[in-house]
Amino acid sequence: MVENTQYTEDNIRSLDWKEHIRMRPGMYIGKLGDGSSPDDGIYILIKEVMDNCIDEFVMGAGKIIEVSVKEEAVTVRDYGRGIPLGKVVDVVSKMNTGGKYDSKAFKKSVGLNGVGTKAVNALSSHFLVQSIRDEQTKIAEFECGNLVKDEPVIETNLRKGTKVVFSPDNTIFKNYKFRNEYIEKMIKNYVYLNRGLTILFNGEKYTSENGLKDLLLEEISEETMQYPIIHLVDNDIEIALTHSKTQYSEEFHSFVNGQNTTQGGTHQNVFREAVVKTIREFYGKNYEASDIRKSIVSAISIKVMEPVFESQTKTKLGSTEMGDGLPSIRVFITDFVKKNLDNYLHKNPDTADALQRKIIQAERERKDLAGIQKLARERAKSVNLHNKKLRDCRVHLNDLKKDNRLESTMFITEGDSASGSITKSRNVNTQAVFSLRGKPLNCYGKTKKIVYENEEFNLLQAALNIEDSIENLRYNNIVIATDADVDGMHIRLLLITFFLQFFPELIKEGHLYILETPLFRVRDKNKTYYCYDETEKQEAIGKLKGKPEITRFKGLGEISPDEFKNFIGDDIRLDPVMMDKTVGIEALLEYYMGKNTPERQQFIIENLKVELDVVAE
């Protein structure tokens, strides 16, 4: 029987600008998150403010931007033209208001819809904007988008520009924490794409002389390059590329008007095709596209008039036209790559020879693996069909609604009890579980062949859909969920080694995490606390009256499914796996996962002593 639900005028509700943003934040900033992922909302808020500063620089106003992040407060100061003083309040609080609707003022702007700072304002517990121009200044302050202080225009001797100070609302971004590593990467991308720009982040200076070439040098060491970086620049386009000696899959970075399009789009697709076409024509060989692109590390940046993105967070370009009287994006990029890459290879025969050797090596490896790959795919398909290893979520990454796609997660667990608890507790729409059988192999120094020969690695690769490229990664978040004991730590290390050895870009792009689960449960008849370390345990004991019951969880399987829901739901704690740019992957793996060395033995002895001292105290 269908329920007769009333639908009258009382059901119709009009939301003002800030109410709509606060009720549907995902429409404006993507996912919320707690700061453990680089695409979490708190970083999008910083980006939205920064984009306005970058637009000022692009228009020739303000070469320095100052950024400060202290606990929950973010301050961004530019030295551009400053917001017109009579419009300071409207620009940050009135929809469809901004200078970017006037293409004469902002020809190739990142943000064209005038929503960015308004979203920051609405989603901040405190938001201050100050504009300085013509030796006058005006300040306005807001709380959750509500104007609380509108100061009059006064005289000043401050340098012209705009200052924004905000604190994300912790009722929306729960338990959030800024991670400087993610902010640093964002800032580095800004300076790589805007030569001549200087950004000061917490007092540290960032600038770039070589654009995308500097970006690639951040991603790959010169020792592991097959040949020196090819760097080509012209009006409205810049590309850089090389091939890695040690990396297996493709790595593409793409940008539009200074915006990092992490999900690619038109320009990235065309660039990938153009590189293949040009190389085939240069060598006069019909090489497989996968052989040409295998191990490539590259970047492209273009500038277009009024770009169209597929979401408010601008991570994927949907435009097909350059604008400004230029040909289509496809023609523009293809012609540039064909002419300039071909010329470069003719003028640099050593690079051309090294590139061809890399392609031939990839072709040989592909043919050597052909037979085993076919068997491995069939085995993976069979296992997945019988649901022996992967308990999938109901919809895969590519099929998820835009509001949910960034939430897609796969937990990697070991043992039936742990995987059983997570499986029963998970959100079946967005969370999948992959069960390991025992400890995985130490794959340091092994070739890609081992991935197909080893059942665990082959099935894991198939479940993630990353055999050829991480572009089709089915789960945005890969979470290692193991016990917090010696065996669990060892499994974590072996899995991280697998990803570093064969798919380092998963870590570089912030997809790999460690699940933090509580070590203790402290409770009495009225209250229960879950504690993640000894300090939290002591604090919990102090909050309870009388003698509490204390449980030490030895493994994930000891935590009941009902309790586990608390740890993989809204309050999930994830520790991102990050790479130290000062240490190469090869050196890192050799030290920790290679043959036993006196240096590593000494490291273990010294750190073990520290732990014993702590326990003794």
The domain that contains 218 carries what CATH number?
A: 3.30.230.10
Tally of domains within the chain: 4
Rounded Cα distance, 163 and 79, in Å: 9
The answer to whether residue 127 sits within a structural domain is: yes
pLDDT tops 50 at residue 101:
no
pLDDT at 615: 38
3-state secondary structure of 132: strand
pLDDT tops 70 at residue 126:
yes
The pLDDT tens digits of the residues spanning 139-189 come to 999 999 999 999 999 999 999 999 999 999 999 998 899 999 999 999 999
Do 187 and 130 belong to one domain? yes
pLDDT at 338: 96
- Of 14-28, 74-88, 393-407, 518-532, give the lowest mean pLDDT range: 393-407
Mean pLDDT (whole number) for 36-53: 91
The answer to whether residue 6 sits within a structural domain is: no
pLDDT at 450: 86
Do 290 and 262 belong to one domain? yes
The answer to whether residue 615 sits within a structural domain is: no
The answer to whether residue 38 sits within a structural domain is: yes
The answer to whether residue 3 sits within a structural domain is: no
Pairwise pLDDT comparison (395 vs 510), residue with the higher score: 510
Q: Which two tokens stand for residue 439?
A: 């400890």
Side by side, the strands of the sheet bearing 251-256 are: 230-234, 237-243, 296-302, 251-256, 259-260
The answer to whether residue 611 sits within a structural domain is: no
Q: Which two tokens stand for residue 358?
A: 């890399």
* Beta pairing class for 64-70 and 409-414: unpaired
pLDDT at 471: 77
pLDDT at 96: 52
- Burial of residue 487 (CB within 10 Å: 0-12, 13-18, 19+) is middle
pLDDT at 599: 76
The mean predicted confidence, pLDDT, of the chain is: 84
pLDDT tops 80 at residue 407:
no
pLDDT category at 377 given cuts 50, 70, 90 is confident
CATH number of the domain to which 59 belongs: 3.30.565.10
Do 265 and 152 belong to one domain? no
- At position 87, the amino acid (one-letter code) is K
Do 356 and 435 belong to one domain? no
- Burial of residue 114 (CB within 10 Å: 0-12, 13-18, 19+) is middle
- Of 122-131, 395-404, 582-591, give the lowest mean pLDDT range: 395-404
Contact at 8 Å (CB) between 296 and 225? no
pLDDT at 203: 92
Rounded Cα distance, 541 and 522, in Å: 7
Mean pLDDT (whole number) for 325-332: 84
Q: Domain end: 552, 567, 598, which one?
A: 552
Mean pLDDT (whole number) for 459-480: 86
Mean pLDDT (whole number) for 457-468: 86
pLDDT tops 70 at residue 610:
no
Do 468 and 352 belong to one domain? no
Look at residues 337, 459, 438 and name the one whose alpha carbon lies nearest to residue 386.
459
CATH number of the domain to which 510 belongs: 3.40.50.670
- Of 206-220, 263-277, 603-617, give the lowest mean pLDDT range: 603-617
pLDDT at 150: 95
pLDDT category at 582 given cuts 50, 70, 90 is low
Do 350 and 245 belong to one domain? yes
pLDDT at 488: 86
- Of 205-209, 319-323, 412-416, 519-523, give the lowest mean pLDDT range: 319-323
Do 188 and 293 belong to one domain? no
pLDDT at 541: 93
Domain that holds residue 526: 520-552
The answer to whether residue 600 sits within a structural domain is: no
pLDDT tops 60 at residue 549:
yes
pLDDT tops 50 at residue 556:
yes
Residue 576 forms beta bridges with which residues?
513
pLDDT at 403: 43
Contact at 8 Å (CB) between 195 and 233? no
pLDDT category at 107 given cuts 50, 70, 90 is low
Do 300 and 433 belong to one domain? no
* Beta pairing class for 549-552 and 520-523: antiparallel
The pLDDT tens digits of the residues spanning 427-441 come to 988 899 999 888 888
Pairwise pLDDT comparison (591 vs 269), residue with the higher score: 269
Out of 41-55, 334-348, 366-380, 579-593, give the one with best mean pLDDT: 334-348
Do 153 and 127 belong to one domain? yes
Q: Which two tokens stand for residue 377?
A: 């795919």
Pairwise pLDDT comparison (421 vs 115), residue with the higher score: 421
pLDDT at 445: 82
Rounded Cα distance, 110 and 13, in Å: 33
Rounded Cα distance, 130 and 153, in Å: 10
pLDDT at 566: 83
The answer to whether residue 591 sits within a structural domain is: no
Do 245 and 342 belong to one domain? yes
The pLDDT tens digits of the residues spanning 485-499 come to 888 888 999 999 999
Do 562 and 420 belong to one domain? yes
Contact at 8 Å (CB) between 304 and 321? yes
| CA Rg value for the chain | 26
- Burial of residue 200 (CB within 10 Å: 0-12, 13-18, 19+) is middle
Mean pLDDT (whole number) for 289-311: 86
Contact at 8 Å (CB) between 106 and 59? yes
Terminal-residue alpha carbon distance, the chain = 68
Alpha helices in 294-415 (DSSP H): 329-347, 349-385
Do 153 and 233 belong to one domain? no
